[in-house]
Amino acid sequence: MMELSLVRLWSTCFCSFFYISTVLLLLTTGGVYSHSEYLIGMGSYDITGPAADVNMMGYANMDQVASGIHFRLRARTFIVSEPQGKRVVFVNIDACMASQIVTLKVIERLKARYGDLYTENNVGISGIHTHSGPGGYLQYVVYIFTSLGFVRQSFDALVDGIENSIIQAHENLRPGSIFSQYSSLWQIDRLFLGYDTSFSGYRLTLPVICK
């Protein structure tokens, strides 16, 4: 019993120290801590789509065809709302990019469910720019040329997953606070080949630390 009490005491002390340190760090490094109680909701849903025999979106290579699942793709939604006020929805999808036709279809479904609560003015959908997800879900011919046209399975998986992730986030809305932080990462380039082929003025202003 004594050992258990000591463990609980140390756990309490550590949590308190961590919270205080985090607040002090935000105050001293330019971060912002909001004391206002926003309503915050989060949701996540599967958007994997067809696992094989579909061209992947991004490289415009007709030979890049899916042949299985490495790991499943998801839509992750964050809703921030002022109590009895405005709200914003941000959806991050494991896809090369968002699609206007997907966005319009998602908003159409949200309007049918929630009325004018979620519209084109407060719903944003963004892709992580992966080149390893199914293609064929965009509305322009150039983007669906290598997938040999529109792929309904890809489109439906995205629309269904995004809609359900937003529903989850909406149903999980609860009071919370917002932390934000910013910083700069200098002398780093993610692709040395691209860096080396850049014009000299660019290389002079953005040196890398190693090659």
Query: How does residue 176 score in pLDDT terms, banded at 50, 70 and 90?
Result: confident
Structure tokens at 121: 């003015």
Percent of the chain with pLDDT over 70: 71
Residue that is written with structure tokens 């860096």 in the block: 195
Alpha helices in the chain, H assignment, sequence order? 2-28, 100-114, 141-144, 152-171, 192-196, 200-205
Task: Please name the residue that has the structure tokens 């997907």.
Answer: 102
CA distances, 140 to each of 136, 147, 161 (Å):
10, 12, 22
pLDDT band, residue 202 (cuts 50/70/90): low
Q: Are 87 and 80 in contact (CB under 8 A)?
A: yes
Q: Which two tokens stand for residue 55?
A: 């061209």
Q: Is 131 annotated as a binding residue?
A: no
Q: What is the pTM of this model?
A: 0.72
69 — pLDDT class (breaks 50, 70, 90): confident
Higher pLDDT, 195 or 81: 81
Taking a C-beta distance cutoff of 8 angstroms, is the pair 85, 138 a contact? no
192/119: higher pLDDT: 119
Q: What residues contact residue 30 under an 8 Å CB cut-off, 6+ apart?
A: 181, 182
135-171: pLDDT as tens digits:
888 888 888 878 888 889 999 999 999 999 999 999 9
Tell me phi and psi for residue 69, to 5 degrees.
Answer: -115, 120
CA 142 to chain centroid: 25
Q: Which residue has tokens 């921030």? A: 80
